[in-house]
Structure 1
Amino acid sequence: MAEGLFTVTPLDAPRAARRHSVGVPISELDAVVILAPGTEIELPDGEVGELCVRGPYTITGYFDVRPEPEAAETMAHNARAFTSDGFYRTGDLGMVRFEEGYRCFSIEGRLKDVIDRGGEKISVDELESLLTGHPKVAEVSVVAMPDPRLGERGCAFIVPVPGAMPNLLDLQEYLAGRGVAKFKWPERVELVEALPRTPVGKIDKKAMRAGITTRLEAETHTATG
């Protein structure tokens, strides 16, 4: 990341650390903590949370020379991006793990790619990895859609294999057969010819979230007359 933190797996690290982690920080002065998302509560080793860092080459704040009111926006952004004791919130989900007794860190996804369904955290990366194996699915991207009762639910955007028409029941039965907890199942399917992408070719989840939010609002308006 441009803001700081470099990690390596030293030559004496066990092979499992190279396979399953991003290693350890390069500087002994680097400090890394795993916090419960949106809080300053440190999680125990082995639990997934937000990777937060502080050290000699990690930024301590974003600089902006624009006049008011834009300068106030920069201050607000800094308040969101850093903890009260100066740790930078990377937005990455991470975990402390031990490989053959070696303490290291792994990246488990992005914070924004977690669906908060009634307090239950659902990893989008995990769900996408599972759904990619469905025989009717050529490509899939899962995003959070707003829900008035639970806060968020999962919506799967599916590019089907030619001639296939996967529906929600198909996906749910497939996940059930693999022992996936019911609360993780997507609760809506959108079939598309192609997933939207940014100018640099990345899947544009922001566009998908905005699109499904607009669609839900229109459906609610129609249902209420």
Structure 2
Amino acid sequence: MTDLKAALDYPQDDVRRFKEAGLWTDTMPHQVLAEWARTAPNAPALIGPKASFTYAEFCERSQRFASGLLSLGLRRGDVIGLQLPNIPEFLIAYFGAQMMGAVPCMFHMPYRSGELESLIAHVRPRAIICVAASEKYDAPALMQKLQERSPTLETVIVVGGRTPPGCLAFDDLSSTGIGEISDQPGPDDPAIILFTSGTSTQPKAVVHAHRTLTASAFHTGDRMGITSQDVVLCAPAHTHAFGLCMAVTIMLAGAANALLPEYSPPLLSETIQRTKPTIVLCGLAHIQAGLKAKLWGPEIAGSVRRVITGGAPCPPEVLRSLEAALSSGKVFQVWGMTEVWMPIFHDLNAPLDLRAASLGSPPVGHQVRVVARDGTVLGPGDEGELQMRGPFLMASYYRNDSATRDAFTDDGWFRTGDMATIDANGFIAITGRLKDIINRGGIKINPMDIEVLMDAHPAVQISAVVPMPDEILGERACLFVQTVPGRTLTLENVCDYLAANNMAKLRWPERLEIVEAMPMTATRKIVKRKLVELLKQTGTTPEARN
């Protein structure tokens, strides 16, 4: 565990300040789960498509799984990989591992050997938990092949279906007797490993401690108004920071977690109608697809009083359209990162115009600033890189000193890489990604300005703008579009549309690429580096292809 704890080496002045301010406590998430099991044993905790669990059942299964892991010889500080969808077994394994001191590491469901081999080599898990083989993906077979190449990976645990020889069945481990855990984890111990989403670079590993998770989740639930009376549907994958943070938040609030194992508009519609959530957490892509499928109306989403979207900025017109579709619900944006589990969020009474224009303000104990490229701290309304510091921030990347050095300024502020403005009231608006800015002969083009307009085009399902090299100007803009089924689009259509929306010609994209599907992360963020790679394969001359 030594090198994992080294990734949690916070400056002692910060540790003292966070504890004195009550921002860090000694409470750990699995202790709160046990308390809910004691005080509200019959309250619904997990609502799956095939099985549901009360808080008492959820806690007991987690305790049994913890004992099962100990019986395998796993110990406090060992890393356990999880590649599971949003199903009850994911959260039973997650909290069970934390109860006995192991450190769950998240592997996204779409990852295969090309991604998993390097990630496994980086975090060195002793066990991996995966789904049973299906027609689309034989996870156990892949894990056993990776096991041959990983000196630390001893055990493959399979959820559901047939358990192949050499693997262990999840149900067997979660049905053992509940034994005493002699070597208990502490609040400063590592609790999880998450990889950054890797939309522009290779993923980096982030470690958070138990006390960080508890503090962040309690604060998030309070700001979002989540209570034990709520049913919360979280569409993003729990292997991602947004989904996992909200899963922990839902549990700490004593609410019910309505689980969506796999996303599609029909499955989301069915889950909303079956579980009747009061709060829905989702990404921008979920919202846009749902609006086009007309699933946000009162006949389907009548129970929903709040939709909270994160992962990517939500264009104001999309947020307004969603709120208009809901019968009585409000729509909020939330900002966070794998590195910093802090919700930038609005007060629940904030008016629609304010919620459409900005994300909100940072939580208590956090500082934010906007900085120019030359390091100058900017004033209200000026655009620059959003930087921050506070108690929910990681201390460093795991086993990646160079990335840690790049991520922090000399005076200890974390560089988010997001472009933003902060108004006179302290409300933050994300305006793009620093690395995405296109430099066209000295003219800076923010792709998000184009994408917001194009996403509102009736022929466009989703869009993305990336740079393409140019010998004269340095870079030009290329627009990628996934069209609405049955609709067509040309570069001339795009230029006419942007002109009608008063965008200067020098900012128009000079090439159009139509794709069947955008490359996405597990949380439905567009992976722009893959679009750049596609451009390299097809040639980067500015002539349009459509």
Taking the aligned partners of 1:8 and 1:195, their CA distance within structure 2 comes to 28
Taking the aligned partners of 1:163 and 1:63, their CA distance within structure 2 comes to 46
Contact 1:50 1:90 in 2 (8 A): yes
1:103 alignment partner, SS class:
coil
Compute the displacement of 1:80 (Å): 1.8
Aligned to 1:176: 499
Residues 145-164 of structure 1: CA distance to partner in whole angstroms, max 9, x if unpaired? 22233332211112345565
Aligned to 1:117: 440
Taking the aligned partners of 1:205 and 1:145, their CA distance within structure 2 comes to 12
Aligned to 2:344: 7
Query: Does the C-alpha gap of structure 1 residues 129 and 105 become closer, same or farther in structure 2, counting only changes over 3 Å?
Result: closer
Aligned to 1:77: 403
Query: Does the C-alpha gap of structure 1 residues 23 and 91 become closer, same or farther in structure 2, counting only changes over 3 Å?
Result: same
Compute the displacement of 1:75 (Å): 2.9
2:152 equivalent to 1:152: no
Residues 59-97 of structure 1: CA distance to partner in whole angstroms, max 9, x if unpaired? 343231xxxxxxxxx332223211121111112221111
Taking the aligned partners of 2:477 and 2:527, their CA distance within structure 1 comes to 16
2:386 equivalent to 1:51: yes
- Map 1:190-201 → 2, pairs under 5 A: 190-198=513-521, 201=524
Q: What is the aligned-residue identity percentage?
A: 39
Compute the displacement of 1:124 (Å): 1.8
2:534 equivalent to 1:211: yes
What letter is aligned with 1:50? Answer: E
Contact 1:60 1:86 in 2 (8 A): no
- Map 1:14-25 → 2, pairs under 5 A: 17-25=354-362
Taking the aligned partners of 2:463 and 2:472, their CA distance within structure 1 comes to 26
Taking the aligned partners of 2:526 and 2:390, their CA distance within structure 1 comes to 32
2:376 equivalent to 1:41: yes
Instruction: After the TM superposition, list the runs of 4 or more consecutive aligned residues in structure 1 that deviate by more than 6 angstroms.
Output: 11-15
Aligned to 2:450: 127
Query: Does the C-alpha gap of structure 1 residues 159 and 45 become closer, same or farther in structure 2, counting only changes over 3 Å?
Result: same
What letter is aligned with 1:63? Answer: Y
Compute the displacement of 1:120 (Å): 2.6
Query: Does the C-alpha gap of structure 1 residues 151 and 83 become closer, same or farther in structure 2, counting only changes over 3 Å?
Result: farther
Moved more, 181-190 or 197-206: 197-206
Match of 1:31 among 352, 364, 367: 367
Query: Does the C-alpha gap of structure 1 residues 153 and 57 become closer, same or farther in structure 2, counting only changes over 3 Å?
Result: same
Compute the displacement of 1:180 (Å): 0.2
Contact 1:60 1:88 in 2 (8 A): no
Report the TM-score, using the length of structure 2 for normalisation: 0.34
> Normalized per residue, which structure has more strand?
1
Structure 2 residue runs of 5 or longer lacking an equivalent are: 1-336
1:57 alignment partner, SS class:
coil
Aligned to 1:92: 418
Taking the aligned partners of 2:348 and 2:478, their CA distance within structure 1 comes to 43
Contact 1:115 1:124 in 2 (8 A): yes
Aligned to 2:70: none
Taking the aligned partners of 1:163 and 1:120, their CA distance within structure 2 comes to 36
Taking the aligned partners of 1:213 and 1:31, their CA distance within structure 2 comes to 40
2:368 alignment partner, SS class:
strand
What letter is aligned with 1:25? Answer: P
Taking the aligned partners of 1:125 and 1:97, their CA distance within structure 2 comes to 19
Moved more, 195-204 or 124-133: 195-204
2:451 alignment partner, SS class:
helix
2:429 equivalent to 1:106: yes
Match of 2:509 among 155, 161, 186: 186
Report the TM-score, using the length of structure 1 for normalisation: 0.75
Contact 1:32 1:52 in 2 (8 A): yes
Query: Does the C-alpha gap of structure 1 residues 138 and 79 become closer, same or farther in structure 2, counting only changes over 3 Å?
Result: same
Query: Does the C-alpha gap of structure 1 residues 2 and 160 become closer, same or farther in structure 2, counting only changes over 3 Å?
Result: closer
Contact 1:136 1:166 in 2 (8 A): yes
Taking the aligned partners of 1:46 and 1:92, their CA distance within structure 2 comes to 15
Contact 1:34 1:42 in 2 (8 A): yes
How many residue pairs get matched? Answer: 205
Taking the aligned partners of 1:137 and 1:44, their CA distance within structure 2 comes to 36
What letter is aligned with 1:35? Answer: V
From the CA coordinates, give the structure whose radius of gyration is larger: 2
Compute the displacement of 1:189 (Å): 0.9
Q: Which structure is higher in RCO with an 8 Å CA cutoff and minimum separation 6?
A: 1
What letter is aligned with 2:390? Answer: G
1:27 alignment partner, SS class:
coil
